Structure 1
């Protein structure tokens, strides 16, 4: 199936691009993008992008893509600002006047009101609007993007190709790689292997990051080794089939957290204390040896902004 990007909407987005970079020239269009729904032909660089996924929005902002509106999460929760945008890029979104589409439940009418020339949907996760694909694709060309099976760098590269901002994506990745190399040289790794997770304090459950997740891949780049959970462990799939997490609950919680160190993403010291004080986890090696480290609430979704924050935290925790 081919969908064509309309050239009728005026170009309303203009900004000075970081490092003096420009988006793809007219000579590089049209270009064909293939996703899970087929092949799509974009006749020109998009100028009015709507992101239905709050996870994708941070990466779009990082490459200076013209995102005009975004889906949001619950305002004022532990991850988000008063509009429901993730805190790590909240100030950037405000400066660029990104509009909020809706909170949580996708709304096709809200998307249509923005008159987009490109709509982006995440393939999985709580911020996926995939159920509205047919409605959204009738409004404008609509692409489905997976973020649960790749690093944040790979996602940034993919979005750069879609938007014509490849140069910006490369520059951001190069800048980060330089910081990562410095961090890797500066830290002493805690006991290995490690379990990387998000701990749900009220429910006493956890989402364990897999090697395929952006979090898992970043830790591998830094030299960490991820522990392998028991092969026969029963896991929940309440969020559908995902590549980035293994859901742990009940008797699987202790057996799944089998690393010598626990790194808690999207968690603060209160969550770490709650995990340490969970009587069902008192016997596991990481708790027994006091190797439980929270990495802050800005690390729930990884993008250019949150990974830089994460490197700062890792430097503080494990500096040689």
Structure 2
């Protein structure tokens, strides 16, 4: 089984009782409530012996659901893919820029846009969060990511008075870890475990099939219109999956680190300008969020001509849909890795 550690954080100073739409100070709670909070770490779920209610510790306090939600709204297009994979009652989702290489005409990720259409998923807005659009869907649970380009945290104070609002990050979790957490808090444990087990079988099959290219590997998103890119770390979903398959992530010099223009992120290292070449230390480069034509773009970058992966032609694009990994895109990634490196294995 794949194992991913839930991260813990400092204890918070209040509890959120969403279905009552009331915030209660810890100083006014009974000792038993205080003890419950101190036993839970961030993203940890506690279930009543009878199944409900269920509570989860978030960065905004303890969120308690008295019963399974029936109308979930996700403000994060990244989290929506995992919710769809476990068949959660998702009625609407935030969307990204429509009609691009990664998104459909509705702004949904192409890897699950057909499923979204089949289930009648409503796009809330494109890119910019809109509280009125969220309210109109009459949700009984709202899900927000605290970081990333699809975060709607600036609306949290407004939305939490409309419906229970779950804040959960994806920058430090795999989709499998998210599926487990969602399964626990939503009462969809069996659905989550079924999807995870199916995927783990595919991971093991891929691991047995492929022959790894020269290691270590720099896994990154390359921006052709700018001299730079984002390097996936072992804290990213992409990095964790690669390591599970046997890849070794190349180290990035400390001199490259420090750019927090996208906020404090654990999953990526931003490399740009003169520091970009120093960041490409792998013997192999895997280009995420990229089709095959992006390989030549990287090879033609004058800053990178001395990089070993460029000189030995070990540069591989792994698909436009790999910027955000959910069950669907991660499955596609495994298929592409098998296509790229499985044939070599078969010829051994």
Partner of 1:131: 154
Q: Deviations over 1:54-96 (max 9, x none)?
A: 0000000000000100000000112100000000000110000
Q: Distance in 1 between matches of 2:64 and 2:333?
A: 37
Is 1:92 the counterpart of 2:115? The answer is yes
Please point out which of 256, 275, 282 is paired with 1:252.
275
Q: Give the superposition deviation at 1:150.
A: 1.5
Is 1:111 the counterpart of 2:134? The answer is yes
- Does the CA contact (< 8 Å) of 1:4 and 1:43 recur in 2? no
- Does the CA contact (< 8 Å) of 1:194 and 1:261 recur in 2? yes
Q: Distance in 2 between matches of 1:66 and 1:195?
A: 38
Q: Distance in 1 between matches of 2:258 and 2:211?
A: 33
Structure 1 moving runs of 4+ over 6 Å: none
- Does the CA contact (< 8 Å) of 1:5 and 1:118 recur in 2? no
Compute the RMSD of aligned alpha carbons: 1.6
Please point out which of 195, 203, 210 is paired with 2:218.
195
- Does the CA contact (< 8 Å) of 2:255 and 2:275 recur in 1? no
Q: Distance in 2 between matches of 1:234 and 1:36?
A: 26
Is 1:2 the counterpart of 2:16? The answer is yes
Q: Distance in 2 between matches of 1:78 and 1:248?
A: 23
Q: Deviations over 1:28-75 (max 9, x none)?
A: 111111100000110000000000000000000000000100000000
Q: Give the superposition deviation at 1:5.
A: 3.2
Please point out which of 215, 224, 229 is paired with 1:206.
229
Q: Distance in 1 between matches of 2:168 and 2:304?
A: 37
Is 1:282 the counterpart of 2:296? The answer is no
Please point out which of 181, 189, 198 is paired with 2:204.
181
Q: Deviations over 1:241-281 (max 9, x none)?
A: 01111111001111011100000111111211111101111
Partner of 2:71: 48
- Does the CA contact (< 8 Å) of 1:5 and 1:44 recur in 2? no
SS of the residue corresponding to residue 142 of structure 2 reads strand
State how 1:34-45 maps to structure 2 within 5 Å.
34-45=57-68
Of 151-160 and 259-268, deviating more is: 151-160
TM-score, normalised relative to structure 1: 0.92
Which consecutive residues of structure 1, in runs of 5 or more, have no partner in the other structure? 7-23
Equivalences, count? 304
Q: Give the superposition deviation at 1:99.
A: 0.2
Q: Distance in 1 between matches of 2:258 and 2:49?
A: 49
Which consecutive residues of structure 2, in runs of 5 or more, have no partner in the other structure? 1-14, 21-46
SS of the residue corresponding to residue 19 of structure 2 reads coil
Q: Give the superposition deviation at 1:204.
A: 2.6
Partner of 1:217: 240
Q: Give the superposition deviation at 1:220.
A: 0.4
Q: Give the superposition deviation at 1:25.
A: 11
Distance 1:26 1:74, change over 3 A: farther
Is 1:165 the counterpart of 2:188? The answer is yes
Q: Deviations over 1:112-171 (max 9, x none)?
A: 000000000011100000111001101100011110011221111111122111111111
State how 1:62-73 maps to structure 2 within 5 Å.
62-73=85-96
